[in-house]
Amino acid sequence: MRMPIKQFINFLLLGFAFLAMGSGGNLPVFSDGLKAYKSGSYQLAFTIWEPMAINGHTEAQLYLGNMFDLGEGVEKNRSKAADWYRLAAKKKILLRNIT
> What is the per-residue pLDDT for 91?
76
Q: Strand, helix or coil at 94?
A: coil
Q: Strand, helix or coil at 20?
A: helix
> What is the per-residue pLDDT for 28?
85
Q: Strand, helix or coil at 38?
A: helix
> What is the per-residue pLDDT for 22?
46
Secondary structure (H, E, C), the chain:
CCCCHHHHHHHHHHHHHHHHHCCCCCCCCHHHHHHHHHCCCHHHHHHHHHHHHHCCCHHHHHHHHHHHHHCCCCCCCHHHHHHHHHHHHHCCCCCCCCC
pTM equals 0.68
Q: Which residues of the chain have pLDDT under 70?
A: 1-26, 92-99
Would you say 27 and 15 are in contact if contact means Cβ atoms under 8 Å apart? no
For the stretch 26-42, pLDDT in tens is 678 999 999 999 999 99
> What is the per-residue pLDDT for 63?
97
